[in-house]
Chain A
């Protein structure tokens, strides 16, 4: 599965952005970002759909014209009938491949080529092979997985593509309850879309003022930003074919260019990390899950020393 240059996928915008901001973001991605695939569509909260719906046709048109391959995202948590309807209509009518983020989408997409998103629990090759037999052509593995599991799953599941989250705050949990609305004095059913005020998530600090998590509506994400720049070449060696960049409220074109340059070997990983800090200074980086540690941890790359890089 290690044929050709590894590719970059832009993950779905997980946050609620104003419609025009969302549109302009994708226009710029279409025109400038070196990503081959764009996963698009609401993933976190069905109440938000009307914000971006009017802008979807021109955005899709622009991305397609730029040669980006479109994949439609689905909701990570489906409980209400209208949420089921939404997933059913995507599965039935989408002219583009659909990415399953819950079991209902998985069920509905059987037999047609589809993607598996990071919200489906793929922890082993037995599960990955089962999904591949049902028609999955690509799996974005959950951020919690350590490198050892990624290597094992990819090597034992021939014939499909694997993707790993290489940039962005990590999705950690989703709830029927909206902590974001509650933090601002509302409940989910009367949320007044307060999550729109926090386009990069609402920071959750501990009582000792440690930065810890961030709220994104019903979703909780890490405060830290997963940054696997130094691990890309090992992952390519393991057979990972694509890396996912999850949009944060920063210059994602610059992020994509930087990852592209590191993948090409034009920029080394350490220099890349320094540049990434300038592009997205708002969150500390983490790679702990990848190294089998707590997800918030940053594990410095000791092996680079052996290869002669500067520490």
Chain B
């Protein structure tokens, strides 16, 4: 199985390549990708240099153009696709049908991957994208169990990539407007979720309150570390219950299921985290590379190291485990 690694900066990109990534994915510095955060992403020139660096080391480069084209401004996405193709990326990761159609028609040789944001969660959906746009790989939404993936794999005609480590969307990706409901900015349209521009922390007695737009997302007593107010990871009141209504502040880790994922027919494992620093990327990629190549009995010790890296943060198998639902 390939290891697909995130890079939000040229420095993180080189670290990922050096640490043993089979492919590194990244995006341009604008709203054409779903990690459109200040200080992140690549200029055309930086992408060209990154591709050259990766190629010398035998690593592939994927470019995510995985937001939905704003009506009337499609040229921003078309130009990004043209430049990425011209720079020689190994695959484009796309979510918008209009953009998929444009790429399939204009660059029929270009390898097209279906972004998790496209929400292709069943055989008919995936085969539609394969037949209509020539998609070669699908990144599956985080809504499926491993047996679901195995069943899907037998019935589709393209490769499967799944997220195994990092941030976890609770909602079906590409179909969530929670962020824009509170802030006006969404993953689909702006490439951001719960953007920092709309985050505010305020002290209330001994509590630190985190807000997104006009809404309180969490409240931390003095002895609790304050987390970032990602909307779906907040604490809310529902009837008599209050607490983490959608998901606890956990991150995804299913590296202990590598063999099951391989047997299910998965060809690539994806690490989330383009917003992460280069030291994190280097450590995670190097460890997961070793774990992937190690014998199962050696893996446990390797993976324990990663838990230290996300110290204080709990991990989950998410939807891969049926009980999560």
Contact = CB atoms under 8 A, between A and B. Distances in A.
B102 interface: yes
- The interface residues of chain A, by DSSP majority, are classed as mixed
Given A144-B186, A204-B236, A179 B101 contact: no
Contacts of B236: 204-207, 212-213
A152 interface: yes
B215 A119 contact: no
Given A123-B188, A215-B238, A175 B180 contact: no
Given A176-B143, A176-B319, A183-B241, A123 B68 contact: yes
Contacts of A220: 171, 178, 246
Q: For chain A, give the interface size range.
A: 35 or more
Nearest to B117: A121
A206 B238 CA distance: 9
A294 B128 contact: no
Given A173-B178, A294-B213, A102 B242 contact: no
A80 B148 contact: yes
A206 B214 CA distance: 10
Interface string A139-151: 0001111001110
B119 A102 contact: yes
A173 B325 CA distance: 15
Interface in B116-136: 118-125, 127-129
B199 interface: no
A203 B238 contact: yes
Contacts of A294: 180-184, 213-214
B96 interface: yes
A81 B124 contact: no
B182 A296 contact: yes
Interface stretch (B19-27, B216-224, B253-261, B279-287): B216-224
A290 to B, nearest CB: 12
B177 A107 contact: no
B246 A177 contact: yes
A114 to B, nearest CB: 14
A104 B102 CA distance: 21
A11 to B, nearest CB: 17
Interface string A266-300: 00000000000000000000001100111111000
A206 B245 CA distance: 10
Given A79-B144, A202-B239, A204-B237, A127 B96 contact: yes
B99 interface: yes
Contacts of A209: 237
B172 A77 contact: yes
B71 A152 contact: yes
A202 to B, nearest CB: 6
Contacts of A104: 122-125, 128
A102 B121 contact: yes
Contacts of A183: 238-239, 241, 245
B124 A84 contact: yes
B123 A84 contact: yes
A170 interface: yes
Contacts of A212: 215, 236
B121 A124 contact: no
B235 A207 contact: yes
A78 B245 contact: no
A106 interface: yes
A187 interface: yes
B263 to A, nearest CB: 19
A79 to B, nearest CB: 5
B72 interface: yes
B143 to A, nearest CB: 4
Interface in B162-193: 170-172, 174-178, 180-184, 186, 188-189
Contact of B124 (A88, A188, A205, A297): A88
Nearest to A157: B71
Given A177-B325, A183-B239, A103 B128 contact: yes
A33 interface: no
A83 interface: yes
Nearest to A127: B98
A39 interface: no
A71 interface: no
A175 B181 contact: no
Contact of B216 (A83, A102, A208, A292): A208
B70 A149 contact: yes
Given A172-B181, A173-B175, 18 more contacts: A77-B119, A78-B125, A79-B122, A83-B122, A87-B124, A102-B119, A103-B120, A121-B68, A130-B97, A142-B177, A144-B177, A176-B144, A206-B234, A208-B216, A209-B237, A210-B214, A210-B215, A210-B216
Interface of B: 68-72, 74, 95-99, 101-102, 118-125, 127-129, 142-144, 148, 151, 170-172, 174-178, 180-184, 186, 188-189, 209, 213-219, 232, 234-239, 241-242, 245-247, 319, 322-325
